[in-house]
Amino acid sequence: MTKEIEDKLEKIPVVNLLVKFGKKIKVPGLQGMSLYDVIEMYIIGIVKGALTTRAGGIAFSFFMAVFPFMLFILTLIPYIPIEGFQEGLFSFIKEILPPQTFEAVNTVIGDIINNQYGGLLSFGFLLSIFLMTNGVNAIFGGFEYSYHVTDVRNVFRSYFISLGVSLLMSFFLIVTITSLILYQVALSKIDETGWLNTSDLNLFLLGKNALFLIMLFTIVSLLFRYGTKQGKETKFFSAGAILTTVVSLFTFYLFGIYVVKFAQYNQLYGSIGTLLILMLFVWLNAIILLLGFELNASLYSLRRRNKTFTTPKKV
């Protein structure tokens, strides 16, 4: 790919052997491009794409959109004919948040519940949609600052698509919570029959984790699909979506251990330490999301470049 980079790597022991090995591995779907080409393009995108700066902007905007998003969902609860939906929502939020942070979030949620803004046409509800859309639009803006993205949308089209995606994300969350409640009811019915003890098999835990995995992967794929103009070339089961989902799951687990065993935010900063933990959690996941996007963008850039090189010129 880049002759200058290859010449430098050839002078480094061991690394030059890995480069030669990577060049021998051809990646399916890239018309003969090697694993080395993908890795090089990926690293170039990360280094030249100001990854952490973009992640910081996404994290701030997304953090500001979390509580308007909760206001949006809580306003919809009276219109969702599922008993126990609110309790199921709180339980789901508690499970996915880092340890020691739910109490702070729960306080804000309780305040939202005690100060309802009316129905679907209230000012607070409409404002929550606007702020929620800003969070998604910030993610798309972070995508468009990628080194591999050259064609961007205009402001109005980008905001309109962000609005649609934010509503779809809300819909997927509602479907996930509803499915979790119905799944729990189904397990209770099975227990009543007496022919299977679902608690011994941890079927509820397995089902809850599976639903969370499906929701996470679907939302990530949705963001990659509509995040940029070139996203229409991205498949649902893309390499970037798989990478983001897998790394996010490890992050949820490892970050929980870090908070419980090592983090001293609450002792140093008091109650505001909880918000710092939550902000760090959002920032880490923003980086993971951008890493997955950069992988998809690198693959797309390689396909486009290879197609340009292999397409014969018309005489």
Per-residue HEC secondary structure of 87-98 comes to HHHHHHHHHHCC
Confidence band, pLDDT 50/70/90 cuts, at residue 217: very high
40 membership: H or E segment, kind and range: helix 35-48
Winning range, highest mean pLDDT, from 52-56, 156-160, 199-203, 294-298:
156-160
User: What was the pLDDT predicted at 6?
Assistant: 62
CA 26 from chain centre, in angstroms, equals 29
User: What was the pLDDT predicted at 313?
Assistant: 47
Please tell me the distance from the alpha carbon of residue 303 to that of residue 306, in angstroms, as a whole number. Answer: 5
Question: Does position 296 have pLDDT exceeding 70, yes or no?
Answer: yes
What are the beta bridge partners of residue 34? 26
Confidence band, pLDDT 50/70/90 cuts, at residue 132: confident
DSSP, res 264: -
Confidence band, pLDDT 50/70/90 cuts, at residue 27: low
Q: What are phi and psi of 34, to 5 degrees?
A: -95, 170
Q: Model-level pTM greater than 0.75?
A: yes
Query: Three-class SS of residue 34?
Result: strand
CA distances from 58 to 51, 74, 140, 143 (A): 11, 24, 9, 10
Please tell me the distance from the alpha carbon of residue 266 to that of residue 275, in angstroms, as a whole number. Answer: 10
Q: 150: which 2 tokens? A: 């050259």
Q: What are phi and psi of 26, to 5 degrees?
A: -90, 135
What DSSP string runs through 111-160? HHHHT---STTSHHHHHHHHHHHHHHHHHHHHHHTSTT------HHHHHH
* Domain spans, the chain: 30-274
Question: Does position 315 have pLDDT exceeding 50, yes or no?
Answer: no
Query: Three-class SS of residue 26?
Result: strand
Question: Does position 216 have pLDDT exceeding 70, yes or no?
Answer: yes
Instruction: Determine the Cα angle at 158 with ends 283 and 56, to 5°.
Output: 15
Sign of CA pseudo-dihedral 215, 279, 285, 153: positive
Q: Give the residue from 132, 95, 98, 93 showing the smallest Cα distance to 110.
A: 93
Q: Give the residue from 109, 66, 75, 134 showing the smallest Cα distance to 279.
A: 66
Neighbours of 12 (CB within 10 A): 11
Question: Does residue 221 contact residue 212 with C-beta atoms inside 8 Å?
Answer: no
Please tell me the distance from the alpha carbon of residue 28 to that of residue 54, in angstroms, as a whole number. Answer: 30
Tell me, what amino acid is at 297?
A
CA 116 from chain centre, in angstroms, equals 29
Query: Three-class SS of residue 148?
Result: coil
Sign of CA pseudo-dihedral 221, 130, 67, 138: positive
Q: What is the share, in percent, of the chain residues with pLDDT greater than 90?
A: 2
Q: What is the mean pLDDT of the chain?
A: 76
**Least confident stretch, 173-182, 191-200, 253-262:** 191-200
Number of Cα atoms under 13 Å in the Cβ half of residue 130:
6
Query: What are the pLDDT digits (tens) for 219-248?
Result: 999 999 888 888 787 888 888 888 889 888
Q: 174: which 2 tokens? A: 């509602």
